[in-house]
């Protein structure tokens, strides 16, 4: 992955609009929080292979990171805190947000084919 290049990500978001796509969305502070503060709450959300068709999407800078929103017929999918991206060899848009230590905090991935539901060393 590399630091987000807003124009490249926006171009890919545009190319995937109005298509049936699969979304992977994940947020976590993982076990990191409780390692440093045993009173801290561990929080996270995970959804994989949600099939959606978004009308349009947009990436905006939030000052040091980015937010991506996808407008659905009946709502929105969005992720905030994204810092890095990759368009992989399967033509999937993979985006992630990492903290200062490089730990994953948020991921939003969009693909025209389902993501693997098993451990896949290539994903």
The model's pLDDT over 69-110, given as tens digits with 9 standing for 90+, comes to 999 999 999 999 999 999 999 999 999 998 888 888 999 999
Any idea which architecture 2-111 has in CATH?
A: Distorted Sandwich (2.70)
- Asked if residue 51 lies in contact with residue 21, where contact means CB atoms within 8 angstroms, the answer is yes
Q: 16: which residues sit within 8 A by CB, 6+ positions away? A: 54, 57, 93, 110, 112
Separation of alpha carbons 46 and 25, rounded Å: 6
- Asked if residue 59 lies in contact with residue 67, where contact means CB atoms within 8 angstroms, the answer is yes
- Asked if residue 79 lies in contact with residue 67, where contact means CB atoms within 8 angstroms, the answer is yes
Domain segments of the chain as ranges: 2-111
The model's pLDDT over 33-55, given as tens digits with 9 standing for 90+, comes to 555 566 666 778 889 999 999 99
CB 85: neighbour CB atoms within 10 A? 23
């Amino acid at each position: 992955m590399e630091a987000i290049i807003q124009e490249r990500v926006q171009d890919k978001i545009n190319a995937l609009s109005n298509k049936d796509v699969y979304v992977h969305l994940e947020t976590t502070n993982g076990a990191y929080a409780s390692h440093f503060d045993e009173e801290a709450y561990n929080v996270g959300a995970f959804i994989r292979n949600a099939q959606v068709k978004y009308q349009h999407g947009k990436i905006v800078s939030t000052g040091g990171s980015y937010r991506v929103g996808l407008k659905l017929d009946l709502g929105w999918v969005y992720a905030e805190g994204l810092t890095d991206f990759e368009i992989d060899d399967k033509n999937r848009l993979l985006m992630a947000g990492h903290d200062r230590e490089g730990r994953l905090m948020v991921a939003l991935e969009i693909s025209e084919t389902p993501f693997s539901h098993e451990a896949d060393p290539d994903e």
